[in-house]
């Protein structure tokens, strides 16, 4: 029996998704079927790698640079 993707057709927003726990969460949500948007602070290379991994799963991914502690950048 094929495994059901519980987040198929959903979208997830992950803050700090380019490294560590945030990257693991973003990739796990993608494995469960969600398209992913995630922020990163400064590591564009890591963000590009996570984006590439998510796209290789057949999901959409969008990385954007923003400091979540700065209201102007969040807006």
Q: Where are the beta strands (DSSP E) in the chain?
A: 11-14, 35-40, 61-65
Distances (CA, A) of 24 to 15, 38, 51: 12, 12, 12
Q: What is the pLDDT of residues 32-42, one digit of tens each?
A: 999 999 999 98
Share of the chain above pLDDT 90, in %: 76
Give the residue extent of every domain in the chain. 11-74
Confidence at residue 14, expressed as pLDDT on a 0 to 100 scale: 96
Q: Is 16 exposed, middle or buried (0-12, 13-18, 19+ CB in 10 A)?
A: middle
The mean pLDDT of the chain is 92
Q: What is the pLDDT of residues 25-61, one digit of tens each?
A: 999 999 999 999 999 998 999 999 999 999 999 999 9
For the ranges 10-14, 19-23, 39-43, 60-64, which has the lowest average pLDDT?
39-43
């Amino acid at each position: 029996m094929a495994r059901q993707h519980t987040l198929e057709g959903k979208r997830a927003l992950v803050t700090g998704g380019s490294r560590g726990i945030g990257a693991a969460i973003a990739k796990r949500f993608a494995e469960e079927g969600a398209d992913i948007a995630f922020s990163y602070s400064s590591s564009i290379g890591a963000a590009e790698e996570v984006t590439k991994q998510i796209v290789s799963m057949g999901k959409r991914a969008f990385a954007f640079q923003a400091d979540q502690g700065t209201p102007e950048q969040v807006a």
